[in-house]
Chains A and B, each alone.
Chain A
Amino acid sequence: MPAINSQNANTETPQRPLLQVQNLRKYFSTKRALPAFGESPPVRAVDGISFDVQKGETLGVVGESGCGKSTMARLLIRLIDPDEGTVILDGKTIGGPGGLPIREMRSRVQMVFQDSYASLNPRLPIEESIAFGPISAGVPHDEANERAIAILAKVGLEPRLFVHRYPHELSGGQRQRVNIARALALDPRLLILDEAVSALDKSVEAQVLNLLSDLRKQLDLTYIFISHDLNVVRYISDKVMVMYLGEIVEIGDVEQVYEDPRHPYTKALLMAQPTMDPNRRTKEAPITGDPPNPIRPPSGCRFHTRCPFAEPVCAEKVPPLIRDGEGTRRVACHLWQEKSGHSKAGSDMAKELSYAG
Chain B
Amino acid sequence: MPDDRDILLDVRDLHVKFVSRERTVHAVNGVSFELERGEVLGILGESGSGKSVTLRSIQKLLPPRNAVLSGSIWLDGEDVLTMPRKQLAELRGSDVSMIFQEPATAFDPVYTIGDQICETIVHHEGISQSEARARALELLELVRIPSAKQRLDTYPHEMSGGMRQRAMIALALSCRPKLLLADEPTTALDATVQIQVLLLLAQLQEELGLSIIFVTHDVGVAIEVSSRLAVMYGGQIVETGPLAEVVQSPVHPYTQGLLASTIHSASRGHRLEAIPGSPPNLEAPPTKCTFAPRCPYVEAACTAAVPQLEPLSDHRAVRCIRSEVGQASAAFAGN
Contact = CB atoms under 8 A, between A and B. Distances in A.
Interface of A: 1, 64-65, 171-174, 201-207, 209-210, 213, 228-232, 234-235, 254-255, 258, 268-269, 271-279, 281-291
A146 B256 CA distance: 40
B248 A278 contact: yes
A116 to B, nearest CB: 13
Contacts of A206: 261, 263, 272-275
B279 A65 contact: no
Interface string B202-236: 10000000000000011111011000000000000
B274 A210 contact: yes
A60 to B, nearest CB: 11
Nearest to B162: A290
Interface string B271-284: 11111101100000
Contact of A282 (B46, B47, B224, B262): B224
Contacts of B47: 172, 201
Given A210-B271, A275-B220, A232 B263 contact: yes
Contact of A203 (B220, B243, B257, B268): B257
Contacts of B192: 64, 268-269, 272, 285-287, 291
Contacts of A231: 263-265, 267
Contacts of B279: 171, 201
Contacts of B248: 278
Nearest to A293: B160
Contacts of B223: 274-278, 281
Contacts of A282: 195, 198-199, 224
Contacts of A286: 192, 195
Nearest to B186: A274
Given A210-B272, A285-B196, 20 more contacts: A202-B219, A202-B258, A202-B262, A206-B261, A206-B263, A209-B274, A210-B274, A213-B271, A231-B263, A235-B263, A235-B268, A258-B265, A274-B194, A276-B219, A277-B223, A278-B247, A278-B248, A281-B224, A282-B199, A284-B199
B247 A274 contact: no
Contacts, number: 131
Contacts of B219: 202, 276
B190 A290 contact: yes
Contacts of B202: 281
A201 B217 contact: yes
Interface of B: 46-47, 160-163, 190-196, 198-199, 202, 217-221, 223-224, 243-244, 247-248, 257-258, 261-265, 267-269, 271-276, 278-279
A202 to B, nearest CB: 5
23 contacts: A64-B192, A65-B190, A201-B46, A202-B219, A202-B262, A207-B275, A231-B264, A231-B265, A235-B263, A254-B268, A269-B191, A271-B195, A272-B192, A273-B195, A274-B194, A276-B220, A276-B247, A278-B223, A283-B199, A286-B195, A287-B192, A290-B161, A291-B190
A334 to B, nearest CB: 21
A275 B195 CA distance: 10
Nearest to B242: A278
Contacts of B257: 203
B274 A207 contact: yes
Contacts of A288: 196
A202 B261 CA distance: 6
A281 B207 CA distance: 18
A271 B191 CA distance: 9
A230 B268 contact: no
A111 B297 CA distance: 38
